[in-house]
Each structure stands twice: as structure tokens, then as C-alpha cells.
């Protein structure tokens, strides 16, 4: 039997979804296809206004979670020690890094298996603009540049 990457429940070998939490099970992570906009779940409420940049999870196990990005460098990955911890097998342990300098926010892939996407384009590095969609594994997050939400 397999284990659900979201809640840890036991899964049958041919399970299409977790019987406990409902997470869709998609098989091997050897290859990855970006999530289409039509697959996103709508937000229950609009994000609150913030003076600092923020990533809001729009699709993934933690939908609605916010990561506030003050000046500094952030590690992103499946490693529990990551600054932005994304707990899913489609996320590499050390997937990417995000650097914030005076409101300028950039993301850089760290050689991950499934890549890092900005607005559905696979990129090694990119500067994020207000409204950009950042996808890491199954997590699709929207970037808000602070004060513009």
C-alpha cells in the first residue's frame, strides 16, 4: 500500500484519490505537466491588503495559505527546514529560492526535477510581477507585490 502525501493515510495501489482527505493521486513524479487555469479552485475570499509582497496558494494541499516575503532570501521545498515548506512529492526537497530586495522579488529554480513555472512558462529564474502565477510542483501560487492586492 502507498501513503497519501497530504495526510499520510494508507492508499490502495490503484487509488485515484485519498479516501481520507480527497487528494487526487496522480502516480509517478518522473514527469510533470503544468496545471491549467481551469483546474484552479476559486478563493473563498480575496487576499487582505498587505504592505509587503505575498504569495497566496491558489491550488495545492494548502489552498489559501499566505507566505509574506520581507527583505531576505527564502528556501522553497519539501524539506521541513525550508522557509517555504511545500509538502508534496512533486516538490523537490530543495526546489527553488526566492530573493526579496527592496520590494524586488525574484525566484530561481535550484535544479528541481519538475521545474519552476511562472505564468505557465518553465524558467530557471524570473523577477515576479504583481499577479504572476508561480507554480512549484502541484502548488500554484499568486504573487501580490504588496499594497496592490
The mean pLDDT value for 96-119 works out to 95
- Do strands 84-85 and 72-77 pair parallel, antiparallel, or not at all (unpaired)? parallel
Better-predicted residue by pLDDT, 124 or 26: 124
Report in angstroms the alpha-carbon separations of 68 from 1, 46, 72, 117, 133. 37, 15, 11, 20, 15
Backbone angles phi, psi at 139, to 5 degrees: -85, 125
HEC sequence for the chain: CEECCCCCCEECCCCCECCCCCCECCCCCCCCCCCCHHHCCCCCCCCCCCCCCEEEEEECCCCCCEEECCCEEEEEECCCCCCEECCCCCCCCCCEEEEEECCEEEEEECCCCCCEEECCEEECEEECCCCCEEEECCEEEEEECCCCC
Better-predicted residue by pLDDT, 59 or 136: 136
Q: How many CB atoms within 10 Å of residue 41?
A: 11
pLDDT at 46: 47
Least confident interval from 47-56, 61-70, 117-126, 139-148: 47-56
* Residue 86 pLDDT > 90: yes
pTM: 0.65
The mean pLDDT value for 28-41 works out to 50
Residues above pLDDT 90, as percent of the chain: 56
pLDDT at 28: 44
Question: b/e per residue, 68-81, with b = 16+ CB within 10 A?
Answer: ebeeeebbbbbeee
Least confident interval from 41-50, 68-77, 89-98: 41-50
Query: Which pLDDT band, with edges at 50, 70 and 90, does 137 fall under?
Result: very high
Amino acid at each position: 500500500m502507498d501513503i497519501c502525501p497530504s495526510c499520510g493515510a494508507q492508499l490502495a495501489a490503484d487509488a485515484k484519490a485519498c479516501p481520507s482527505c480527497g487528494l487526487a493521486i496522480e502516480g509517478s513524479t518522473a514527469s510533470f505537466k503544468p496545471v491549467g487555469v481551469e483546474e484552479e479552485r476559486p478563493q473563498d475570499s480575496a487576499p487582505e491588503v498587505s504592505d509587503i509582497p505575498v504569495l497566496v496558494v491558489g491550488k495545492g494541499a494548502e489552498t489559501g495559505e499566505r507566505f509574506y516575503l520581507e527583505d531576505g532570501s527564502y528556501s522553497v521545498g519539501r524539506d521541513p527546514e525550508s522557509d517555504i515548506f511545500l509538502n508534496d512529492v512533486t516538490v523537490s526537497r530543495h526546489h527553488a529560492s526566492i530573493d526579496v530586495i527592496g520590494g524586488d522579488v525574484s525566484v530561481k529554480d535550484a535544479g528541481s526535477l519538475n521545474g519552476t513555472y511562472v505564468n505557465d512558462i518553465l524558467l530557471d529564474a524570473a523577477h515576479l510581477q504583481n499577479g504572476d502565477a508561480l507554480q512549484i510542483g502541484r502548488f500554484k501560487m499568486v504573487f501580490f507585490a504588496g499594497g496592490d492586492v
